[in-house]
Homo-oligomer: A and B are copies of this chain.
């Protein structure tokens, strides 16, 4: 097992001091060209690599970004990670990932572990069970910048990156209207959830902007596959009054299409259906689902960029920004052209 060669090793072998080696390696002007060449050539030969642990301790800087995420196995979140990873890597940072599993206690421990390891910054999305934010304040108090994505606490001033749910819902509904729909059903998430509320508002706004009277009967709380089956009767009963459906997420849209088609309703000829999310199954279902792309990768990239700005601008006092990413329409075959 090969021992990692250190600056001291090089110094001893070359018969010079460690400080000279250190300087030579980083091209310090004081060092004579001859010494530099010698040291650099030798270092190369023995495959010298600085010990990151020692550097970290010395500089109190790790070039590592911490991530706290509710769950990794989820298309949206894994896309975010992927985006983070890309930008972080390009800037010379590593990523340390913690999964809270939607558990507040775990999130607290994760935050502490990242602090203990002196990560240079933290990107996080709150767990569903997090209502207290002392662990986050603790990070910030210790000078660790935090940027939130997707799920952020109102109580904390920090950079935040969101998808624009309102706009996404509006765009989706506009698309239905533009392709001729006039009576549009919305399958919604409960309105105590922010996304439920925002997407619902976007839907209503789009109707309004097109001079379509909003009909409260055309909103059903129904945001999971099972919900759709439970509400199948209600949906089918409305089927002959409507010509479009906007659902709060893709899996609801897909289940809805299945229920409708099973009952002889053709999509999009009789009813157009549009979802929200653009996960992998939007392409695989039948018919391929028109939907709104949630842009996880871009959210991850943006959040990381904001974090790096903060990490590298240590100078002045930082004014928190909130960035809103506008989702884009993915038109497939479940809506008319």
Which residues of A line the B interface, CB within 8 A?
A: 1-2, 4, 49-54, 56-57, 60, 62, 64, 71-75, 78-79, 81-82, 85, 89, 94-99, 112-113, 115-118, 141-143, 225, 251, 254-255, 258, 279-281, 283-286, 297
Contact across chains for B142 and A2 when beta carbons are under 8 A apart: yes
Contacts of A49 in B (CB 8 A): 112, 115-116
Contacts of A1 in B (CB 8 A): 141-143
Please give the distance in Å from A204's CB to the nearest CB on chain B.
Answer: 28
Contacts of A141 in B (CB 8 A): 1-2
Contacts of A254 in B (CB 8 A): 284
Please give the distance in Å from A273's CB to the nearest CB on chain B.
Answer: 14
Please give the distance in Å from A229's CB to the nearest CB on chain B.
Answer: 12
Q: Which 8 pairs across A and B sit closest by C-beta, in order of nearness?
A: A1-B143, A281-B281, A52-B116, A53-B57, A52-B117, A78-B78, A73-B78, A53-B56
Please give the distance in Å from A123's CB to the nearest CB on chain B.
Answer: 13
Contact across chains for B62 and A72 when beta carbons are under 8 A apart: no
In addition to A54-B57, A56-B56, A72-B72, 19 A-B residue pairs with Cβ atoms within 8 Å of each other are A1-B141, A50-B116, A51-B57, A51-B116, A52-B116, A71-B82, A72-B81, A72-B85, A73-B81, A73-B297, A85-B98, A94-B96, A94-B117, A96-B96, A254-B284, A258-B286, A280-B280, A280-B281, A285-B285
Q: Which residue of B lies closest to A259 (CB)?
A: B286
Contacts of A51 in B (CB 8 A): 57, 116, 118
Contact across chains for A99 and B82 when beta carbons are under 8 A apart: yes
Tell me the complex Cα distance, A41–B57, Å. Answer: 27
Q: Which residue of B lies closest to A2 (CB)?
A: B141
Contacts of A52 in B (CB 8 A): 116-118
Please give the distance in Å from A86's CB to the nearest CB on chain B.
Answer: 8
Of listed A73, A258, A279, residue having the most chain B CB within 10 A? A73
Tell me the complex Cα distance, A62–B52, Å. Answer: 11
Q: Which residue of B lies closest to A50 (CB)?
A: B116
Please give the distance in Å from A216's CB to the nearest CB on chain B.
Answer: 30
Q: Which residue of B lies closest to A283 (CB)?
A: B225
Tell me the complex Cα distance, A60–B71, Å. Answer: 31
Please give the distance in Å from A45's CB to the nearest CB on chain B.
Answer: 15
Q: Which residue of B lies closest to A261 (CB)?
A: B286
Please give the distance in Å from A286's CB to the nearest CB on chain B.
Answer: 5
Q: Which residue of B lies closest to A60 (CB)?
A: B53
Tell me the complex Cα distance, A81–B73, Å. Answer: 8
Instruction: Point out the residue from B82, B98, B280 that lies within 8 Å of A94, measured CB to CB.
Output: B98
Contacts of A96 in B (CB 8 A): 64, 94-97
25 A-B residue pairs with Cβ-Cβ distance under 8 Å, sorted by A, are: A1-B141, A1-B142, A2-B142, A50-B116, A51-B116, A52-B118, A53-B53, A53-B118, A64-B96, A72-B72, A72-B78, A72-B81, A73-B82, A75-B75, A85-B97, A94-B98, A96-B96, A225-B283, A225-B284, A251-B284, A254-B284, A280-B281, A281-B281, A281-B285, A285-B285
